[in-house]
Amino acid sequence: MEMESASHEKAGLLTRLWTCLKPLPGKLVSKVAGVARKIKKLGQDDPRRVIHSLKVGLALTLISLFYYSRALYKGFGDSAMWAVMTVVVVLEFSVGATLGKGLNRGLATLLAGALGVGVHHLASLSGGIGEPMLLGFFVFLQAAASTFARFCPGIKARYDYGCLIFILTFCLVSVAGYRDREILELAHKRISTILIGGATCVIITIVVCPVWAGEDLQNLVALNLEKIGNYLEGFGGEYFRTSEDEECKDDKSFLQGYISVLNSKGSEESLENFARWEPGHGRFRFRHPWKQYLKIGNLTRQCAYRIEALNGYLNSGFQAPTEIRSKIKDVCTMMSLESGMALNELALAVKKMTRPTSADPHIEKSETAAKTLKTLLKSGISGDTDFLEVIKVATVASLLIDVTNCTQKIAESVHELASIAHFKSVDPTVSPEKSQLSQVKLAAKVDCPQVSITVRESSPSSKESGNSLAPTAVPRVVL
Amino acid sequence: MEMESASHEKAGLLTRLWTCLKPLPGKLVSKVAGVARKIKKLGQDDPRRVIHSLKVGLALTLISLFYYSRALYKGFGDSAMWAVMTVVVVLEFSVGATLGKGLNRGLATLLAGALGVGVHHLASLSGGIGEPMLLGFFVFLQAAASTFARFCPGIKARYDYGCLIFILTFCLVSVAGYRDREILELAHKRISTILIGGATCVIITIVVCPVWAGEDLQNLVALNLEKIGNYLEGFGGEYFRTSEDEECKDDKSFLQGYISVLNSKGSEESLENFARWEPGHGRFRFRHPWKQYLKIGNLTRQCAYRIEALNGYLNSGFQAPTEIRSKIKDVCTMMSLESGMALNELALAVKKMTRPTSADPHIEKSETAAKTLKTLLKSGISGDTDFLEVIKVATVASLLIDVTNCTQKIAESVHELASIAHFKSVDPTVSPEKSQLSQVKLAAKVDCPQVSITVRESSPSSKESGNSLAPTAVPRVVL
C-alpha cells in the first residue's frame, strides 16, 4: 500500500513538474520572438543604425591588423592597444560627433603629453622622495583644475571629452614616467597610435555612408514644423466635428505628433553642437548658421506649448453649441488650416533649402482670417447661448490667434535663415510640380466631410502659392 | 631734412604702436578678471563642484601610489595604468552615476574578459593564418552586435557604458592575446586593477561629502513645483495691476522661474537613472519609487506649458476693463494664489518627505474659487464692454481654471508618492511652526497693495493648513 501511494505521489510530482515545465519552451520561444521583433523594428526604423554597427565592426577589424601584422606590431608593440581604444571610444554615429571626439582626444593628448613630460622633467630634478611628492602635487592640482573646468557650460558643451583625456594623459605620462624612464618614447607611441586610431575613425565615418549631424538637425527642425503643421491642419475639422460626422474614421496620429516637439530642445542642441565640428559638405558650408535652426526650434516649441493648452479643449468632450459653431467654424478652421499649411511649406523650404516664399500666401490668409475672427468676436457671438460655453469656444479661438502669431514669427525666422544661408529661390511660374503639396492635401481631404468646406475655400490659395517641391516625407531622425 | 623727417616718422610709428599696445594690458586684466569672476560664480552657485574637483584630485593622487610604491608596482606593473584610467573615467559627480559606471565597467570587463579568453582559445586551435582570420571575424561580429544593442532605448539608458567597455575589453583580450601568450595573466591584471580603481572611486564618492542623485532629483522636482507655485502666487497681482499700482517695484524674477521647468525632462530622467543605482541612504530605501518623481515632474511640465500660454497674456500690455476687473479680480487672484500656495506646500512636502496634507485646504479653496468663477462666467460678465476685451480676460480665466485642474492632478500624484514611499505624517495640532509658510507669504505681501485683498482672504485658510515646516529655500540643483 505504502509503495503504491509513494509511486502515486511520485507520479503526481512528475505530472506537476511537467505542467510547470511544459509551457516554458513556448514562453521562451515567444520571448525570443518578441526580442527579435524589437531588434527588427530598431533596424527598420532607421537602417543607418545597422550600417553604423557594421562600420564599427569594420574599423575594429582593420585596426586589429596592428596586432596581426608583424611589421606594424614591431613598430608600436603594446601601444597598439591605444589605437584599438581610440576606435572604440571615438567612432560615433554622426560625422560631427566623431570629429569632435577625435579632435578633442588628439589635441588633449598632445597638450597633456607635452605638459606631462615637462612636469616629469621638473620633478626628476628634485630626486629622491621629493620626486613622487612633487608629481603627486602636480597630479592633484591638474586633476582638480581640469575637473572644475568641466563644470563651465561652454567647456562642458564642446570640450568635456577633451578635459577627461587631458587628465588621463597627464597622469599616465607624468606618473608612469616615474617607472618607465623612456618617457618620450612612451608619449610618442601613445600620441601616434591615437592619431592613427582617430584617423581610421574619421576616414571610415566620412567615406562609408556618412551620417551628417547638420543634416539630421535640419531634418529634425523640419519634421517638428511639419508635426505642428499637420496638427493645425487637422485641428479645425476635429474641433468642430459633430456627432453626425463620427463615421469618418481617419487616422488621428497627427494629433499626437506635437508631443515629441515639446521635449526636443536637448536633441536639437546636441545635434547643433556636433554640426559645428563638421566640414562643408553637400549644400552646407563650413560655417553654416546652425544657431538659426535652434532659434526656429525654440519658436516651434513656443507654438507646441500653446497647442498643448489647445489640445486640452479638443479632448474635453465638449461640443460647441450649434449657434456659435455656425458663426466661427469656417473662419477658425480656415485660420488653423492656413497656419498649418504655412508651417508645412516652411518645413519643406527648410528641408529643401529653398526660400520659403510659398508659405507667404498662407501666412497672409491666416492673418486675414485672424482679423475676421477678431471682428466677429468684437461684434459678439454670444446670442442666447450659455456664456460659459461661449467662453470655452472663445478661449480656443483666442489660443488659435496666438498660434497664428507664433506661425508668423516662425516664418520670419525661416526667412532670416534663408537669407543668411543663401537658400536658392524658386520661380513659382516655372515649376511643373506647382502647388503639389496643396493638391495632395486637397485630394486627401475631400473624402472627409467635416473639412470639405475648408478645403474648397483654401484650394485657390494653394494654387497661388506656387510650391514647386514634391511632398516627400521628412525622414526619421535618430539621435 | 630727410633725417629729421625719418626720425619724425619713427617717432610717429612708435606713438601709434604705443597707442595700440597701451590698452592691451588693461584689456587683458579685465578679461582675466572676467574669467575669475565666472569661476568664482561657478563655485558659489554650487560649492559641491569645488568639493568634487578636490575629490577627483585626491582619488588620482591615491591611485598614483601604484607607481610610487615599489611593492605595488611589482605586483601589477604597467597594468597599474588601468587603475588610473578607471578613476579618471568612473568618478562622477553623484554616487549613483559613479556606481552605475563602476558596475558597468566591472561587469562588462569580467564578461568580455571571459569571452575574449574563450574566443582566443578557440582561434588558437585553428593555428596558422586561420587564427587571425577567425579572431577578426569574432571581433567584427561582437563589435557590430554590441554597437547595435546600444541603440536599444532600455540598454542605452542604463548599460551604454557597459557595452562600450564590453567591446573594448573583448578586443584587447582576444586580439592582444595573439601576441602576448600570457593572456590569462593579462586578463587577470586588467580585471583586478579595474576593480581596485572602481573600488577607490566608490569609496571616495560615498565617504567624502557624498552627492546623491536621488536627493538631487527630489530637490529638482520640489524646486520646479516651487517655481510654478511662485508664479501662480504672483500672477493675480501682476495681471490685475492697474497703472496706479505701478509704484510698487517688487522683484519680478518669480515670473521667469517657470521657463526652466519647460525643459527639465532630460535632467529629471538622467537623475532618475542615476538614482536607481544608489543604495539605501538617509531617508531613502534602495527601491525608493523614483519613477513617481518623474510622474510628478511630467505633470508639473503640463502645468508649465499652460503657464507659458498664460504668460503671453501677462506681457501683452493689455489692461482688463475696470468693469470686468472688479467682477473677477478677487476670485481669479484667489484661485491663482491658492493654487500657488498648494504647489508650494506640495514642494515642501516632497522636499521634507512628509504627507502633503497641508496642501489640501488650498486645493479645496482653489477648487471653490474655480467653481465661483465658472458661475460668474455663466451669468455673463460682458455688460457694455467690448466683447473682444471680455474674451481676452475670459481666456486668462479659462487657462487659470486649467492650471487649477493641473494642480489637483499634481496633488494627487504627490499623495500617491507619499503613500508608496511611506512619508511621515505631520500632526497639524502639535507643531509650533504651524502655517509658517503662509505667514511668511502674508508678511511678504502686505506691503504691496495689489495683492492685499487676496492675502486678507487667504490668511484664515493658511492658518488652518497646519504646515509644520519652515519655509527653507530648496537648494540649487546641479546636473
pLDDT of the residue at B4: 63
Q: Is the pLDDT of residue B251 over 50?
A: yes
Give A140 to chain B, closest Cα distance, Å: 4
Nearest CA in chain B to A403: B309
Calculate the average pLDDT of chain B. Answer: 81
For residue A22, how many other CB atoms are within 10 A of its CB? 9
pLDDT of the residue at B398: 84
Q: Are A67 and B171 a contacting pair at CB < 8 A?
A: no
Kindly state the DSSP code that residue B209 receives in the 8-state scheme: S
pLDDT of the residue at A7: 67
How far apart CA B231 and CA B225 sit, in angstroms, is 10
Q: Is A281 helix (H, G, I), strand (E, B) or coil?
A: strand
How far apart CA B476 and CA A283 sit, in angstroms, is 44
Q: What are phi and psi of B354, to 5 degrees?
A: -115, 160
Q: Are A167 and B56 a contacting pair at CB < 8 A?
A: yes
| This prediction's pTM | 0.81
Mutate to test the interface with B, among A398, A409, A478 (most CBs of B within 10 A): A398
Exposed (0-12), middle (13-18) or buried (19+): which is B139, by Cβ within 10 Å? buried
- Contacts with B144 from chain A: Cβ below 8 Å: 53-54, 56-57
A-B C-beta contacts closer than 8 Å: 217
- What value, to the nearest 5°, has the Cα angle with vertex B423 and ends B422 and B429? 130
Q: Are A135 and B64 a contacting pair at CB < 8 A?
A: yes
Give B57 to chain A, closest Cα distance, Å: 4
Q: Are A171 and B64 a contacting pair at CB < 8 A?
A: yes
Q: What is the mean pLDDT of residues B412-436?
A: 72
- Contacts with A139 from chain B: Cβ below 8 Å: 57, 60-61, 64
Q: Which of A58, A144, A176 sits opposite B53 (nearest CB)?
A: A144
CB B165 within 8 A of CB B104: yes
Q: Which of B135, B140, B402 sits opposite A309 (nearest CB)?
A: B402
Q: Which amino acid is at A432?
A: P
Q: Are B49 and A302 a contacting pair at CB < 8 A?
A: no
Reported as a single tens digit per residue, the pLDDT across B439-475 is: 444 334 433 333 332 333 333 333 333 333 333 333 3
Q: How many residues does chain B have?
A: 479
Q: Are B380 and A387 a contacting pair at CB < 8 A?
A: yes
Q: Is the pLDDT of residue B34 over 80?
A: yes
Q: Which amino acid is at A399?
A: L
pLDDT of the residue at B462: 35
- What value, to the nearest 5°, has the Cα angle with vertex A286 and ends A280 and A291? 125
Q: Are A143 and B399 a contacting pair at CB < 8 A?
A: no
Reported as a single tens digit per residue, the pLDDT across B171-188 is: 888 887 777 667 777 778
Nearest Cα neighbor of A187 from A71, A303, A109 is: A109
Exposed (0-12), middle (13-18) or buried (19+): which is A322, by Cβ within 10 Å? exposed
Three cell numbers written together for A241 = 466635428
Nearest CA in chain A to B381: A387
Nearest Cα neighbor of A397 from A424, A368, A376 is: A376
How far apart CA A348 and CA A431 sit, in angstroms, is 15
Please enumerate in sequence order all residues whose Cβ is within 8 A of that of A454, keeping only pairs 6 or more positions apart, or say none: A236, A237, A330, A333, A334, A337, A445
Q: Which of B81, B301, B394 sits opposite A176 (nearest CB)?
A: B81
pLDDT of the residue at A380: 66
- Interface pTM, i.e. ipTM: 0.80
Give A304 to chain B, closest Cα distance, Å: 9
Mutate to test the interface with B, among A171, A261, A269 (most CBs of B within 10 A): A171
- What value, to the nearest 5°, has the Cα angle with vertex B113 and ends B173 and A40? 100
pLDDT of the residue at B343: 94
Nearest Cα neighbor of A304 from A359, A236, A230, A246 is: A230
pLDDT of the residue at B285: 85
How far apart CA B196 and CA B186 sit, in angstroms, is 15
How far apart CA A21 and CA A24 sit, in angstroms, is 5
Q: Which of B78, B305, B391 sits opposite A377 (nearest CB)?
A: B391
Q: Which of A43, A171, A263 sits opposite B88 (nearest CB)?
A: A171
Q: Are A58 and B152 a contacting pair at CB < 8 A?
A: no
Nearest CA in chain A to B180: A78
Q: Is the pLDDT of residue B33 over 80?
A: yes
Reported as a single tens digit per residue, the pLDDT across A367-397 is: 898 888 888 877 766 555 667 777 778 888 8
Q: Are A148 and B378 a contacting pair at CB < 8 A?
A: no
Enumerate helices (H) and strands (E) in chain A, giving the number of each. 19, 0
Q: Are A398 and B402 a contacting pair at CB < 8 A?
A: no
- Contacts with A148 from chain B: Cβ below 8 Å: 39, 42-43, 49-50, 53
Helices of type H across A64-182: 65-68, 70-76, 80-90, 95-126, 130-149, 153-176
Q: Which of A61, A147, A265 sits opposite B52 (nearest CB)?
A: A147
Give the bridge partners for A424, in sequence order: A354
- What value, to the nearest 5°, has the Cα angle with vertex B356 and ends B232 and B305? 35
pLDDT of the residue at A111: 93
Q: What are phi and psi of A284, to 5 degrees?
A: -100, 135
pLDDT of the residue at B389: 75
Q: Are B139 and A58 a contacting pair at CB < 8 A?
A: no
Give A71 to chain B, closest Cα distance, Å: 13
Q: Which regions of A204-348 does DSSP assign to beta strands (E)?
A: none
- What value, to the nearest 5°, has the Cα angle with vertex A330 and ends A325 and A336? 105
CB B71 within 8 A of CB B182: no
Q: Which of B151, B168, B386 sits opposite A378 (nearest CB)?
A: B386
Q: Are A42 and B148 a contacting pair at CB < 8 A?
A: yes
How far apart CA B267 and CA B209 sit, in angstroms, is 22
Please enumerate in sequence order all residues whose Cβ is within 8 A of that of B37, keeping only pairs 6 or more positions apart, or say none: none
Query: Which parts of chain A sit beneath pLDDT 50?
Result: 430-479
Give A150 to chain B, closest Cα distance, Å: 9
pLDDT of the residue at B455: 32
Q: Is the pLDDT of residue B421 over 50?
A: yes
pLDDT of the residue at B373: 84
How far apart CA A229 and CA A336 sit, in angstroms, is 9
Nearest Cα neighbor of A336 from A397, A413, A384 is: A397
Reported as a single tens digit per residue, the pLDDT across B74-108 is: 777 778 888 999 999 999 999 999 999 999 999 99
More confident site: B70 or A362 = A362
Q: Is the pLDDT of residue B336 over 50?
A: yes
Kindly state the DSSP code that residue B446 receives in the 8-state scheme: T
Q: Which residues of B238-269 are buried (b: 16+ CB within 10 A; e: fewer)?
A: bbbbeeeeeeeeeeeebbebbeebbbbbebbb
For residue B165, how many other CB atoms are within 10 A of its CB? 25
Q: Are B56 and A402 a contacting pair at CB < 8 A?
A: no
Q: Are A151 and B179 a contacting pair at CB < 8 A?
A: no
Reported as a single tens digit per residue, the pLDDT across B294-329 is: 999 999 999 999 898 888 888 776 666 777 777 788
Nearest CA in chain B to A53: B144
- Contacts with A171 from chain B: Cβ below 8 Å: 60, 64, 84, 88
pLDDT of the residue at A446: 32
Find how far residue A237's CA is from the centre of its chain: 30
Q: Are B139 and A60 a contacting pair at CB < 8 A?
A: yes
Q: What are phi and psi of B470, to 5 degrees?
A: -65, 145
- Contacts with A170 from chain B: Cβ below 8 Å: none
pLDDT of the residue at A211: 93
Nearest Cα neighbor of A225 from A310, A300, A298 is: A300
Q: Which amino acid is at B410?
A: I
